[in-house]
Amino acid sequence: MHTFLIRAYFTVARFYFAEYERATFFMKKFPVLILTMLLLFNLSGCGEPEQIKYDRDFFAMDTYIACQVLSADEELAVKALDAAEAAFMDIDRLTNRFEQSSEISTVNSKAGVVPVKVSADVFAMVETSMQWSDKTDGAFNILIGNVMDLWGFGTENPAVPTEEALVEALTRTDYHKIVLDEKNSTIYLPEKGMVIDLGGVAKGYATDKAVAALKDLGIENALINAGGNVYVLGKRADGTPWKVGVRDPQDPEEIKKVLQGRDTAFVSSGDYQRYFEADGIRYHHILDPADGYPARASAGTTIIMKSATIADILSTSLFVKGPGEGINLAEKFIEVDAAMIITGDGKIYETKKLRDYVFDN
């Protein structure tokens, strides 16, 4: 449309320059004036069909997931929301270890027995997780599964395990021992009782898949929020950036900081997301693989970067690391655009670039 108008503008202008001598003043100016107005109107975007917001909420991966898509075409928007929902359902089906039929459950049940053939998605999640385990000195560890089970996270009756039980369970968490066979797409856990838990990466991975599906359909503006795994694509209907509120771990109904951005993931982990209380102490779901206890150095973390998968891995890892080492690591990884860590006393630690994403009213 823009190219057409620009061409028309110059054709008319050329004609008037040629006939300039013979034309009256009104004839000289009027058509050029109208075309200029049309051109400006179109360039300002007022001529574009209006984009309307379509949203859908659903439950997957033990989390409420909210998707918003902007489009001028209702049929396309519904197709896009279907595709985003399918991405989460697919990854849930593959990774849910409380579902016997999932690929991850099969890998876990065949520990110490045989390698298991898996989909490209499960293979990629496990491979990427292992790479980032090395980069975070083991703060991220998908073999934390049997320790999670000891605490009873994900069951009706969570409870504090004994020290001996924890020490014993930790002997089966050496992720270096996971055997990946890329050619045959198999995963092998060499010791009985080893349990892979993709809870720290699967939502981010599904978010990336959902965003890819939206982009494939030509959606340019959307927001996906999968329980703190947020991806913002393009901008809001009024042309302003999408805003993302970071919850206050001390009072999760309140927002500690408002961030904004486009075409990026904002992934948060927090001690308020999943926990149980025993004898007045809160035990949450992010475990320090060094001792098997809930990590205490942080109360909330937020990572801003293009890949929601790696942001998910890092939000969990930096939570374990705590503000000192965690912020240093975030500054070191070139893939990370910005990060913040909130501690139990409410202090905020952030990388230098975080201010580029802060929305201040």
Could you list the residues that contact ligand AMP (CB under 6 A)? 140-142, 144, 148, 197, 199-200, 269, 273-274, 285-287, 289, 312, 315-316, 320
* Token reading at 255: 């927002």
| Partners of residue 11 on adjacent β-strands | none
Mask 183-212, x = binds Mg ion (CB under 5 A)?
Answer: -----------------x------------
Residue at token pair 């694509």: 233
Q: In sequence order, which residues have a C-beta less than 8 Å from that of residue 129 and are 6 or more positions away? A: 140, 142, 175, 198, 200, 201, 313
The item of ligand AMP, Mg ion, none sharing an interface with residue 36, based on CB under 5 to 8 Å by kind, is: none
What's the rounded Cα separation, in Å, for the pair 105 and 101? 7
186 binding partner (options Mg ion, ligand AMP, none; Cβ < 5 to 8 Å by kind) = none
Nearest position to Mg ion, beta carbon? 316
- For Mg ion, the closer of residues 61 and 69 by Cβ is 61
208 vs 305: CA distance, rounded Å? 12
Q: Which is nearer to ligand AMP, 147 or 214 (CB)?
A: 147
Output 200 or 234, the one with its CB closest to Mg ion: 200
Q: Which is nearer to ligand AMP, 71 or 298 (CB)?
A: 298
Asked whether position 270 contacts Mg ion by CB under 5 A, the answer is no
Question: How far apart are CB 146 and ligand AMP at their closest, in Å?
Answer: 12
Residue 148 interface partner, choices ligand AMP, Mg ion, none, CB cut-off 5-8 Å depending on type? ligand AMP
Q: How far is the CB of 69 from ligand AMP (least distance, A)?
A: 24
Asked if 257 contacts 246 with a C-beta cutoff of 8 angstroms, the reply is yes
Binding mask 307-336 for Mg ion (x = CB under 5 A): -----x--xx--------------------
One-letter amino acid identity for 240? T
Looking at the Cβ atoms of 236 and 284, the one nearer to ligand AMP is: 284
- In the complex, what is the shortest distance from the CB of residue 105 to ligand AMP, in angstroms, rounded to a whole number? 14
**Cα torsion through 108, 112, 113, 114, rounded to 10:** 70
With CB atoms as reference, the residue minimizing the distance to ligand AMP is 199
d(CA 346, CA 228): 19
Smallest distance from ligand AMP to CB 98, Å: 11
- Residues 311/304, Cβ–Cβ less than 8 Å: yes
Report the relative pairing of strands 229-233 and 221-226 from DSSP bridges: antiparallel
Within 10 angstroms of residue 79's Cβ, the number of other Cβ atoms is 17
User: What separation, in Å, do the N-terminal and C-terminal C-alpha atoms of the chain show?
Assistant: 36
Residues that bind Mg ion (CB under 5 A): 200, 312, 315-316
